[in-house]
Structure 1
Amino acid sequence: MLRSLALLLALSACAAAPGPDRPSGGSAAPRAVTLYRDTVVVQMSDGSLCTGVRAARAGPWETTLNGCPHTWPVAVKRPTTLPRLPLAPTEGDPWVRLSPPGNAPLGFGPRVGS
């Protein structure tokens, strides 16, 4: 019985430890950002998939990422009527702005040629 408990504790410690794709300290960065009509989907560098959903209103909208450990504020400055619009990092005129805690906001706009 004691041996089973020790094995269970060792396995749970391994599952909680950061792996090679999961940086410790919560320092994740957006790897891919996609804007849909009513949703923003962000794939993070730690493997999490985060979503922000529009409230029922027209025009620019704001939300918070959900479904992942990164509950960052999101501002959609330029909504799209396209069913799916992949975005890339941009310095000027972002369509979507992500605000990681303690860091400057990150802007994303349509990829060149989109």
Structure 2
Amino acid sequence: MRWIVLLACLATAGCATGPAPSASGGAGVRPVAVTLFRDTVTARMSDGGLCTGVREGRAGPWSTTLAGCPQTWPVAVLRPTGRPRLPLAPAAEAPWVTITPPDRPALGFGPRVGS
């Protein structure tokens, strides 16, 4: 009987995972590294989180929402790539990818110089 009570307590403690992800994800958080793949975008955030946006369609520009981290922000891939992996850098003009934090302007990212 004590084992059942102990297991129930452990199971309950293991289910307490903290707050659910939110669109805000922290006022000062920003992407520090963005990588465009054929079917995904990854963003490593300044708080250490790794976010991923997955492509649902197969043709042309696409959009998604970041997942796997507290920052569930909209992402737009304006110029898809056929390359398996393309590191991106901040780009003020002609971005390939935009990430839009809440209550802030969209952040643009494009290929790094020499990519």
Tell me the TM-score normalised to structure 1 length: 0.77
User: 1:24-54 CA distances to partner (integer Å, 9 max, x unpaired)?
Assistant: x812110100000000000000000000000
Q: Under a length normalisation based on structure 2, what TM-score does the superposition of the two structures give?
A: 0.77
Q: Distance in 1 between matches of 2:30 and 2:43?
A: 10
For 1:57 and 1:86, the matched residues in 2 are separated by 21
Name segments (4+ residues, structure 1) moved above 2 Å: none
Structural RMSD (CA): 1.2
Match of 1:8 in 2: none
Name structure 1 gaps, 5 residues minimum: 1-15, 17-24
- Total equivalences in the alignment: 91
Question: Which residue is equivalent to 2:4?
Answer: none
Partner of 2:81: 80
Mapped partners of 1:68, 1:74: distance in 2: 14
Identity percentage of aligned residues:
68
Unmatched tracts of structure 2, length 5 or more: 1-17, 19-24
* Structure 2 equivalent of residue 31 of structure 1: 32
Residue 90 of structure 1 aligns with an amino acid whose one-letter code is A
Ranked by relative contact order (alpha carbons within 8 Å, sequence separation 6 or more), the top structure is: 2
Which residue identity does 1:98 align to in structure 2? Answer: I
